[in-house]
Amino acid sequence: MPLERIALHQTRLRTPGLGLDGKGVALGGKGLVLLPSIDRLVAWLSVYTREHSLEDIMPSLEIKLVRSKLGTREITLAVAAESSDRMDRIAETARLVGGFTFTGTSRHFVQYRDASAPFGYDAQELLSTDAALVVYNDKFTQAYESDKDIDLRALLLRLMPHVDPSTIGEGGPRYIVAEQGLGPALIHYLVRSRVDGEVAVGEWPPESAFDEGPVRRYIVKLPDLIPRMRPLMATTPGITSFLPAGPGVAVEMGYRHPVALRACPVFDPNGLVLIRGKGVEPWALTRAPQMGDLRAFARVELRSLDDRDAAVATSTLKPDMVRVPLRVVPSMNAFRNVTASWLLPREIPLLRKLAYALPRKTIESTQISVTKQGAFLRCPSGIEAIPLGTFYVEIHPGLYIPAGYDFIPAVAPEVLHRALGAVSGTVLFIDSLARASSVDDNTFSPLENMLLEAGAWEPIVGQRIDLALEERPLDLKLEGLGAFPLGGADLPPPAPPQLPQGLPHIDAPQLPPKQDG
């Protein structure tokens, strides 16, 4: 029965429950995938769960075994068709594994859209039948009866894992199940190898009527396993290792499940399902057992009990001290916190000359102590602004070593400070020859207080203000100069003649006064 391609903006459809979504694609309430066999269903699950999770379609997922009128059995997988995007992913996976995709609501399902019909298909005529399912394809029309439902969890447990030796070397958490006789030895081996983990004992029903009671096995949970132990745990008889494959499920090491179990939320996270290889039945625990620390189950050994009392020491001696001399050696590490310097006596005059070029901030923050061995400078913000002497690094409060050097043995700075016997209120300077010098902290004073040398000052006595007021003020008058400004001025007396330099001066003889008559 041929199908009709849906055109753009077509609104009238014959298939019951079929409508158009926002993109104009024909979409029913459900999506249906028709698969020819169970292996095609496993292939669809394997391909789909590789990139997508079944969590969003699990509430509406239905897997059924259907039977046609010819007696052939096929597999249908139905989910809620919430959007065309979801159906596109499902249809693309179905085409890859050889299945067909349909959409509908109740019993009649038409072929989902493909490249030939971008907006989907509609049935030109519906098949009159009481069958539980009718599918309409452009090549066939078939009616099916429901045979039985397929439980996804049971299907995943029945699938045999594929052999994959690469999983033996994988890191991460794992479960190790040991038979009852090997459990204590395994725990002792792990504790002796300093492997952290937890252990529990699981019980399973008797495997046969000849068993007297439940089968007990030790279950060890490890956050990781040492690489050298991984092959041992995978090949030792009586010990089976499992890698977690999802919440509440793990697969035996050396095998890989065909379906990504992490994308199939069908296992109870509060329980534990251990899927084994070689076609044997998995081990399942409906509830995770109570676990305890591995070290709590380690083997306990007691010494022999006798009547002798415990050995009591009669005396104690102070042990011999192991002491080595302190050495100061050059260091390749970058030095920081250079806050002090040591100036030899011959370098102090240079400091006096350099003082005229130092900035005010450096002078304010620097402290100095002048001793017979030289001057010691300290500046919390860094002493590099005064390029004189030997720079020192403060490795401990009150303890300095030369910059670019380190001391050996490499003990903690506080241990070195304590070993040198430093007392409170002293500052220790260790030179490059490992010699220590102590400077009293009280001798340090601000550099600005000891730097400036002021000259002597001369006192000046001021006069009393009342004496200055007794002086009579001068009365100045301005008069006209007239026509002859210098008419009344007297001529200055004539200057005496000057003799040439180098000639002796001889006074003229005085003549006697002239007498009358």
Pairing of strands 374-378, 367-371: antiparallel
pTM of the model: 0.57
d(CA 441, CA 456): 32
d(CA 328, CA 422): 18
Residue 458 lies in a domain: no
| Cα angle: 139, vertex 144, 150; to 5 degrees | 115
Biggest alpha carbon–alpha carbon distance for the chain = 202
DSSP state of 263: G
Residue that terminates a domain, selected from 404, 436, 451: 451
* Whether residue 117 sits in one domain with residue 21: yes
d(CA 448, CA 93): 86
Contact in structure between 41 and 75 (CB atoms under 8 Å): yes
Below-50 pLDDT ranges, the chain: 503, 506, 508, 517
* Whether residue 341 sits in one domain with residue 266: no
d(CA 47, CA 501): 133
Contact in structure between 272 and 250 (CB atoms under 8 Å): yes
* Whether residue 344 sits in one domain with residue 223: no
User: How many Cβ atoms are within 10 Å of 211's Cβ, its own excluded?
Assistant: 10
* Whether residue 386 sits in one domain with residue 276: no
Contact in structure between 90 and 79 (CB atoms under 8 Å): yes
Residue 479 lies in a domain: no
User: How many Cβ atoms are within 10 Å of 236's Cβ, its own excluded?
Assistant: 14
In this prediction, residue 517 carries a pLDDT of 43
Residue 309 in tokens: 């009392």
* Whether residue 144 sits in one domain with residue 200: no
Q: How far is CA 426 from the centre of its chain?
A: 43
Residue 302 lies in a domain: no
* Whether residue 257 sits in one domain with residue 176: yes
* Whether residue 27 sits in one domain with residue 132: yes
Contact in structure between 29 and 81 (CB atoms under 8 Å): yes
Secondary structure in 3-state letters for 398-421: CEEEECCEEEECCCCHHHHHHHCC
- Say how many residues make up the chain: 517
d(CA 111, CA 5): 10
* Whether residue 284 sits in one domain with residue 239: yes
In this prediction, residue 337 carries a pLDDT of 82
Residue that terminates a domain, selected from 128, 150, 172: 150
* Whether residue 337 sits in one domain with residue 242: no
Residue 315 lies in a domain: no
Residue 338 lies in a domain: yes
Percentage of residues of the chain with pLDDT beyond 90: 43
d(CA 164, CA 170): 11
d(CA 418, CA 347): 32
Residue 48 lies in a domain: yes
DSSP state of 286: S
- φ/ψ of residue 122, rounded to 5: -140, 145
Contact in structure between 394 and 339 (CB atoms under 8 Å): yes
Residue 260 in tokens: 């990504």
pLDDT tens digit string along 431-446? 988 899 899 988 898 9
* Whether residue 233 sits in one domain with residue 137: no
DSSP state of 287: S
CB-hemisphere CA count at 13 Å for 13? 28
Domain span at residue 15 reads 3-150
- b/e burial code for range 91-112 (CB count within 10 A of at least 16 → b): bebbeebebbbbbbbebbbbbb
DSSP 436-480: EEEEEGGG-EEHHHHH--PPP----PPPPHHHHHHSPPP------
Residue that terminates a domain, selected from 451, 481, 502: 451
H or E segment to which residue 68 belongs: strand 62-68
H or E segment to which residue 156 belongs: helix 152-158
* Whether residue 279 sits in one domain with residue 167: yes
Angle between helices 84-97 and 38-51 (to 10 degrees): 130
d(CA 241, CA 295): 20
Determine the straight-line distance between the first and last CA of the chain, rounded to whole angstroms. Answer: 194
Residue 510 lies in a domain: no
Residue 490 lies in a domain: no
What are the percentages of helix, strand and coil residues in the chain, rounded to 5?
A: 20, 30, 50
* Whether residue 409 sits in one domain with residue 388: yes
Question: For the chain, how many structural domains are there in total?
Answer: 3
d(CA 40, CA 56): 22
